[in-house]
């Protein structure tokens, strides 16, 4: 197993108990082992997520971050329903995802040969999400500089940004360096939405803004008292894995 936000040792690096026989010494975090005669259990052996702390970018350059914040603010615009994607922390979320296993595709099948494939066969290019953001953001800014009077995407007016995003989405734009506009748009959209709706512990969904907007109670785990109250609003505010609003330090 691996950690989700920040590198830290996992419980499996600290296993020692009569119930286990380590079959082989190894520096790997996961050890093959034999278990017999009892249920293996140790205190403090759970593997909770680690709270993302704002401050600094681990993957994005400042210019890339600014671009993505502008994109996030158009995909999830601020209005009377919720704050916008930038203030919700969608780019903080994305930055931390891109330095982890998601960004590097470390869990995926990445062996060649790489062939174009059919739509039914899914993503077949060798580039990881981290590489796709690096090249995609550069291509997006190169495109707007070229076609919008030398301005980067973040410098455009919101209506112009919307127009560019709509054309990206529809595949009407040819981006430089062979970046597939539609595919890059879909990647950004999926990740911004993940950040907006995921537990705030991952850096987005600040103050559970999206959950309050929907009326989703979040990490609550017992609805037995409301199951028979058909068609009646659920009375309690949302909670996060990290706790309730009162407990949260951000």
Nearer to another protein, 9 or 122 (CB): 122
Q: Please report whether residue 219 would count as binding another protein according to CB under 8 A.
A: yes
At closest approach, how far in Å is the CB of 181 from another protein?
A: 15
Q: Please report whether residue 198 would count as binding another protein according to CB under 8 A.
A: yes
| Euclidean distance between CA atoms 48 and 64, whole angstroms | 30
Helix (H, G, I), strand (E, B) or coil at 126: coil
- Residues numbered 96-125 forming contacts with another protein, rule: CB under 8 A: 101-102, 105-111, 113, 115, 117-124
At closest approach, how far in Å is the CB of 88 from another protein?
A: 12
Nearer to another protein, 158 or 176 (CB): 158
Q: Please report whether residue 11 would count as binding another protein according to CB under 8 A.
A: yes
Helix (H, G, I), strand (E, B) or coil at 103: helix
Q: Please report whether residue 210 would count as binding another protein according to CB under 8 A.
A: yes
∠ CA(88), CA(84), CA(244), 5° rounding?
35
Helices and strands in the chain, H and E counts: 7, 2
Q: Please report whether residue 37 would count as binding another protein according to CB under 8 A.
A: yes
Kindly give the residue spans of alpha helices, DSSP state H, lying in the chain: 62-75, 90-98, 101-104, 129-147, 158-170, 181-197, 209-214
At closest approach, how far in Å is the CB of 225 from another protein?
A: 10
| Euclidean distance between CA atoms 182 and 133, whole angstroms | 13
| Euclidean distance between CA atoms 215 and 203, whole angstroms | 20
> Which one of residues 159, 177, 232, 249 is an interface residue with another protein (CB under 8 A)?
232
- Residues numbered 143-182 forming contacts with another protein, rule: CB under 8 A: 162, 165, 169
Interface mask toward another protein for 65-94; x: CB under 8 A: ---------xxxx-x-xx------------
| Euclidean distance between CA atoms 63 and 68, whole angstroms | 9
């Amino acid at each position: 197993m691996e950690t989700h936000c920040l590198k830290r040792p996992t419980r499996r690096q600290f296993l020692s108990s009569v119930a286990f026989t380590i079959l082989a010494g190894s520096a790997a975090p996961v050890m093959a082992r034999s278990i017999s005669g009892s249920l293996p259990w140790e205190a403090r052996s759970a593997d909770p997520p680690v709270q993302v702390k704002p401050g600094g970018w681990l993957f994005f350059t400042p210019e890339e971050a600014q671009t993505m914040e502008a994109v996030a603010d158009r995909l999830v615009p601020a209005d009377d329903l919720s704050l916008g994607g930038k203030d919700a922390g969608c780019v903080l979320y994305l930055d931390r995802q891109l330095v982890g296993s998601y960004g590097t595709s470390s869990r995926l099948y990445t062996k060649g040969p790489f062939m174009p494939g059919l739509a039914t066969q899914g993503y077949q290019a060798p580039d990881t999400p981290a590489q796709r953001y690096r090249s995609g953001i550069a291509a997006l800014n190169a495109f707007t500089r070229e076609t919008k009077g030398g301005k980067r995407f973040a410098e455009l007016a919101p209506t112009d940004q919307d127009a560019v995003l709509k054309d990206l989405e529809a595949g009407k734009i040819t981006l430089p360096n062979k970046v597939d506009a539609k595919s890059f748009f879909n990647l950004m959209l999926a990740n911004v939405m993940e950040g907006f709706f995921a537990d705030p512990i991952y850096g987005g969904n600040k103050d559970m803004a999206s959950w309050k907007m929907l009326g989703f109670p979040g990490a609550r785990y017992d609805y037995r008292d409301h199951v028979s109250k058909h068609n009646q609003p659920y009375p309690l505010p949302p909670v996060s894995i990290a706790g309730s609003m009162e407990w949260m330090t951000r």
